[in-house]
Amino acid sequence: MTLTLLRPLEALLAEPGCLDTELDPKVALYKLFLRSWRDVPASNYVDSSIPDDEASARNLAAITVEPRIAFLLNALESFNPKEIGQTLERSEHEALELIDRAGREISSQIRTTVLIIEDEPLVALDIQSLVEQLGHDVTTIARTHQEAVRAAVMRRPGLILSDIQLADGSSGLDAVNEILLSQEVLVIFITAFPELFLTGQAPEPAFLISKPFSADSVKAIVSQALFFDRKSQPNTAKEATG
């Protein structure tokens, strides 16, 4: 354990009152810890916190200090914007801006092509707008299983955002499974029934967006998916309508 890591613990033992008791204990501990890391390169701070893989290390280098910390608190510790703001001694609005900035900085390094599988035009356009704000290129919006598979064959996407129930009664889940048989690609499912995926049994999707979704959640999850670079595997969850 480095001297820098010991400092917050020494401070806590020497002066228990230095911990902000008005905050959640986990938030208070991170707040104390980060005070000792303000002048330390962010890569030193996060090396022991992120999965030890090449993609994460590469993508981590794309993010500047405070956005990086905000992003990791959100992605790895599931801190909400209010808790991130408390940890960094920022407002909730500033915390949201840091997370958004982190997403843009990641995207500037790993810009990719996106296939959207969604049958509701307004929802599809909303998703497209959010993805493009992060700097990615939406190549196709597919409304049916057949359109989705054809689009993926014609131009292999780097990311798929897929609804479950599609316009002609076909399944987005089936379309994604067919695509994954011939290519590796990141997949984020968008569904009103996330509990049908989260069964505790493999295979499960690495990333889910629940309907109705917020702009901030879509942007954060897209950034997390690309950051951790977890390729998806065929999924056998029970089909839902929504």
Report helix, strand or coil for 80.
coil
Q: Which of 108, 128, 163 is the C-terminal boundary of a domain?
A: 108
- pLDDT on residue 132: 94
Q: Which domain holds residue 41?
A: 3-108
Q: Which of 49, 83, 108 is the C-terminal boundary of a domain?
A: 108
Residues 86 and 120 occupy one common structural domain: no
Q: What is the pTM of this model?
A: 0.71
Residues 101 and 129 occupy one common structural domain: no
Residue 241 falls inside a structural domain: no
Instruction: Tell me the pLDDT band of 239, cut-offs 50, 70 and 90.
Output: very low
What CATH number does residue 220 fall under?
3.40.50.2300
pLDDT in tens, 49-62: 444 455 566 666 66
- Could you give the C-alpha distances from 227 to 93, 114, 125, in angstroms and in order? 23, 15, 24
Residue 167 falls inside a structural domain: yes
pLDDT in tens, 97-149: 999 888 888 877 778 999 999 999 999 999 999 999 988 999 999 999 999 99
Residues 93 and 121 occupy one common structural domain: no
The highest-confidence range among 72-76, 201-205, 231-235, by mean pLDDT, is 72-76
Residue 238 falls inside a structural domain: no
Split into its structural domains, the chain has a count of 2
208 with 196: CB under 8 angstroms? no
> 186: which strand partners?
159
Average pLDDT of the segment spanning 166-189: 89
Residues 95 and 185 occupy one common structural domain: no
- Kindly tell me if the per-residue pLDDT of 3 is higher than 70: no
Residue 50 falls inside a structural domain: yes
- Kindly tell me if the per-residue pLDDT of 186 is higher than 80: yes
- pLDDT on residue 136: 92
Residues 193 and 218 occupy one common structural domain: yes
Q: Which of 108, 123, 138 is the C-terminal boundary of a domain?
A: 108
21 with 28: CB under 8 angstroms? yes
pLDDT in tens, 24-74: 888 888 887 777 666 554 434 444 344 445 556 666 666 788 898 898 899
> 25: which strand partners?
none
Residues 159 and 136 occupy one common structural domain: yes
- pLDDT on residue 85: 94
Residues 51 and 140 occupy one common structural domain: no
Residues 74 and 144 occupy one common structural domain: no
Residues 72 and 9 occupy one common structural domain: yes
